[in-house]
A and B are shown apart, each in its own frame.
Chain A
Amino acid sequence: MKKFTTTLAALLIMGSASSFADGHKVKVGMITTLSGGGSGLGIDVRDGFMLAVKGNKNISVITKDDQRKPDIAVQLADKMIQSDKVDVLTGIIWSNLAMAVVPATVNQGKFYLSPNAGPSKLAGKGCHKNYFNVAWQNDNLHEAAGGYANSAGFKNSFILAPNYPAGKDALTGYKRYFKGSLAGEIYTKLGQKDYAAEIAQIRASGADSVFFFLPGGMGIGFMKQFSQSGIKLPVVGPAFSFDQGILKAVGDAALGVKNTSQWSKDIDNNANKKFVKDFQSEYGRLPSLYASQGYDTGKLLISAMSKAKVKDKDKFRDALRKADFSSTRGKFSFDKNHHPIQDIYVREVIKEGEILTNKIVSVGLKDHSNAYVSECKM
């Protein structure tokens, strides 16, 4: 009899445990760039995210490659929502892809957690209750760069960025904080690798500093060609052209350059130390800011899952909004338009032994939010 009751009790516990687990299971669709140009960014975001959710049995992740093409990203999102029935989508790197995927996704009642792209449209008029950006609003790092340029005493900047949503946000962000005048302003072609023509213009412009936003391979080309051109102007930019994946390819041309970032591997908190250590032992390389964003996205998701079931959309949304997780960035919270309030640091490229990496030199903007909060009706 005693045996029977224990078995029954065990069965009951198992039963309740499995129903408990069912409601708490979350299916994540990750659409990111894994092949072709710019795949280093997508791979870092994916690896960071997978590290965060590693060993969590309640999360299943489907990962697909968008090849950096908006039409493919849209197809993948449709398939993930309709046939794979995912609850949460994440992963997109590029703002033009995010603009193509996010509005349709959140309107179908799915959650979208952005680990990278933060176009101004989705922060302002196009904001949505189911859209959360865990990285930054696109303007943020550039605003900090503008602020840094003032404190460094720059009076006349030459600024350039690619001709796509994030490029426009970048120059807008820099101009919002930079108090000096502009010696020139150029939009380059997205994916352009040769900057001889632009560098000639910089030389002729009489600028005292250069600000550029050229993510991925674009920035490698620019930095190398700029240092070969013999122009001795100080350069400032967001971390995207100086992250860990790229520095090796830029080489010594990057040494000493100031760049702005919401994350750095030397931010002093336990979550970050653990992340840097775990990432290195899991993948055998230093993490980049993209990896930290993927990791934080994973941790945010886990924190919300411990508070509410994903099917209970309102409760789950509230849980996400609380951002109750220990971020690698330290202090982290969401503003009303679901974009981060966080510190943005100024970093400098240094050499640690033979490896090029970044070191924080100061805090650029403290508890920084974004300029589009008031435009967001939510």
Chain B
Amino acid sequence: MTSILFFEQLLNGIQFGTMLFLMSAGLTLIFGVMGLINLAHGSFYMIGAFSAALIAGLTGSFWLALLASLSGAAIAGVLIEILIIRRLYRRDHLDQVLATFALILLLSEGVRWCFGAFPLYLDIPENLNGTLPILDDIIYSKYRLFIIFMGLLIATGLYILITKTRLGVRIRAGQNDRQMISALGVDISKLYTIVFALGASLAGLAGAMIGAIQSVEVGMGEPILILAFVVIVIGGIGSIKGALIGSILVGVTDTIGRIFLPELLKIFMEPANATSVGSSIGSMLIYILMALILIIKPSGLFGKT
């Protein structure tokens, strides 16, 4: 009984982790390559979800909606990079934080202005509705399995992109020495735009996939942005591998912690107190994890020292 519950929660944690990975992969790439702290990354998550809801409303197709989330967020990414972000690379981090924070406010209000303050409707496709039996007694949501599958697919894709392609070589070179690769004749500003758009579209895809089971509303990106920052700090800033391991670690810790901590506390506390204390500590758990990892490895699990 408990082992089934534990396994199901483990899957939930992994699913949450793969979603976090889509967010944090872009964030860590953008930081690694351009040295930019992009607080507005959560806004692309929101833009992706709204593009998807718009297209799903018009066409009724979830798959077109997913495509729309990728392209909608990518287009927004390109525009914002060219118009605003490009001017920030040379500035220090405080300026970047201020400017991208302003972007959050502008984009949130812009989306509210276009779509209104009420949540939009976006549902999962009929053939992913329901559950799938895996192993003997464990049944698990098809859609969540699909999310895990997509996350792993994108992780593999990113791995191939970074290690096997010319663009990947340039991205890695950009991480190591910006001046040198521009001196070698690589069009650095085009590379930056591509990386930024890639990061934005991954965030947009995450927004659409999650929006379908949660809610598509203004401000949906900010809570997950904070977690994505925790992930890249744990994984080591700039490292895709770190982002993957960090995401799964955060996802599993958060899910397992918030469910089993109250149960654990019930052994020596009153049930009502145990639930409220347990869930309070449960929500702090990932920050405790981050602190512990930073004590042992100050630059994160896979960060450059």
A-side residues, CB < 8 A to B, are 34-37, 39-40, 43, 163, 168, 185-189, 191, 193-194, 196-198, 200-201, 203-204, 217, 220-221, 224-225, 228-230, 245-246, 248-251
Contacts and interface: CB of A to CB of B under 8 A. Distances in A.
Contacts of A220: 119, 214-215
B289 to A, nearest CB: 16
Given A35-B109, A163-B280, A185-B271, A40 B216 contact: no
A197 B9 contact: yes
Q: Do most interface residues of chain B lie in helix, strand or loop, or is the interface mixed?
A: helix
Contacts of B213: 194, 221, 224-225, 228
Contacts of A217: 119, 214-215, 217, 220
B12 A251 contact: no
B143 A249 contact: no
A198 B280 CA distance: 15
Contact of A228 (B143, B215, B217): B143
A197 B118 contact: no
B255 interface: yes
17 contacts: A36-B108, A37-B217, A163-B283, A185-B271, A185-B272, A186-B262, A187-B276, A187-B279, A193-B210, A196-B12, A196-B15, A200-B9, A217-B214, A217-B220, A224-B213, A225-B213, A249-B118
Given A186-B262, A217-B220, A229-B131, A251 B121 contact: yes
B217 A43 contact: no
A196 B283 contact: no
B219 A201 contact: no
Given A188-B279, A245-B118, A249-B120, A37 B15 contact: no
Contacts of A34: 117
A230 B218 contact: no
Interface residues of B, number: 48
Contact of B258 (A36, A189, A225, A228): A189
Nearest to A42: B117
B106 to A, nearest CB: 12
B192 interface: no
Nearest to A229: B141
Interface stretch (B60-68, B73-81, B122-130, B163-171): B122-130
B232 to A, nearest CB: 20
A168 B124 CA distance: 32
Contact of A163 (B1, B212, B217, B276): B276
Given A163-B280, A194-B16, A200-B5, A224 B123 contact: yes
A68 to B, nearest CB: 9
Contacts of A40: 117-119, 217
Q: Which 9 A-B pairs have the closest CB atoms?
A: A36-B219, A221-B214, A220-B215, A249-B119, A193-B214, A217-B215, A196-B12, A39-B117, A187-B279
B139 interface: yes
A200 B10 CA distance: 11
Interface string B191-231: 00000000000000000001011111111101100000000
Given A39-B117, A220-B215, 13 more contacts: A35-B109, A40-B117, A185-B272, A189-B279, A193-B214, A204-B1, A220-B214, A221-B215, A228-B141, A228-B143, A230-B130, A246-B119, A249-B216
B275 to A, nearest CB: 5
A196 B1 contact: no
Contacts of A193: 210, 214-215, 220, 223
Nearest to B120: A249
